[in-house]
């Protein structure tokens, strides 16, 4: 479609107003055009109008793309950006996860939302399946940060995973010769002893 091509050109030239105009023309002719929906929202975001970007996504998300995880996550991300955490949670838990409880990206995002709203129990339950995926992706720092943040919620599980992770990395903060059980004991009874040498 010619309007879509013109919208892309204006977008590349950073002419946001013109690109918005042509993406809207595309949607008036093809309301299911996924690229136009995402790009129009993106243009409103670049313009600094996050509310309009969210309204644009909300108009199309639930009805036209109820199973499109990318669109639903994008809608949730904008909701978080405008501090509408309840809407973001609804976007993820109500739509995306209903179709795919295994969607790690959605679960991590939902964990982040629960964490921001202070519901740490729910956040931990969403992060648990995400942790294994983080380790496969070698995102060790993020996994350690999550585990350390939730050790008061589930000290045994977080402790086992931290010890396993440090053992796997051969990088125990308590010294290379530390046995896992010693590391676990020190980690939970002396949490600020990261630089402490083993006696």
Q: What is the pLDDT of residue 193?
A: 43
Closest-CA residue to 140 (of 167, 118, 179): 167
Mark residue 30 as left, alpha or beta (left: phi above 0; alpha: psi -120 to 50; beta: remaining): beta
CB 71 within 8 A of CB 96: no
pTM over 0.75: no
Per residue in 159-182, pLDDT (tens digit) is 888 888 887 777 545 444 444 445
Mean pLDDT of 39-64: 80
Percentage of the chain beyond pLDDT 90 is 14
What's CA 187's distance to the chain center, in Å?
Answer: 28
Give phi and psi for 99, each to the nearest 5: -90, -25
Question: Does position 150 have pLDDT exceeding 90, yes or no?
Answer: yes
CA separation, residue 196 to residues 110, 150, 174, 190, 199 (Å):
36, 22, 6, 9, 9
Domains of the chain: 1-47 (1.25.40.10), 49-129 (1.25.40.10), 138-199 (no CATH)
Which residue in the block uniquely carries the two structure tokens 């669109």? 71
Question: If you count DSSP H runs as helices and E runs as strands, how many of each does the chain have, helices first?
Answer: 12, 0
């Amino acid at each position: 479609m010619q309007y879509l091509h013109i919208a892309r050109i204006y977008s590349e030239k950073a002419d946001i107003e013109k690109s918005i105009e042509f993406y809207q023309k595309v949607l008036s002719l093809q309301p299911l055009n996924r690229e136009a929906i995402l790009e129009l929202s993106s243009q409103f975001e670049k313009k600094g109008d996050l509310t309009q970007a969210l309204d644009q996504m909300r108009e199309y998300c639930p009805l036209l793309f109820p199973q499109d995880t990318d669109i639903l996550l994008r809608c949730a991300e904008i909701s978080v950006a405008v501090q509408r955490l309840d809407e973001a949670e609804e976007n993820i838990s109500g739509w995306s996860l209903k179709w795919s409880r295994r969607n790690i990206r959605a679960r991590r995002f939902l964990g982040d939302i629960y964490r921001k709203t202070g519901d740490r129990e729910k956040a931990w339950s969403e992060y648990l399946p995400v942790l294994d995926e983080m380790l496969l992706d070698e995102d060790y720092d993020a996994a350690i940060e999550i585990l350390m943040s939730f050790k008061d919620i589930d000290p045994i599980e977080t402790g086992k995973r931290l010890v396993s992770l440090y053992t796997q990395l051969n990088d125990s903060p308590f010294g290379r010769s530390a046995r896992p059980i010693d590391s676990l004991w020190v980690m939970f009874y002396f949490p600020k002893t990261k630089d402490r040498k083993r006696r």
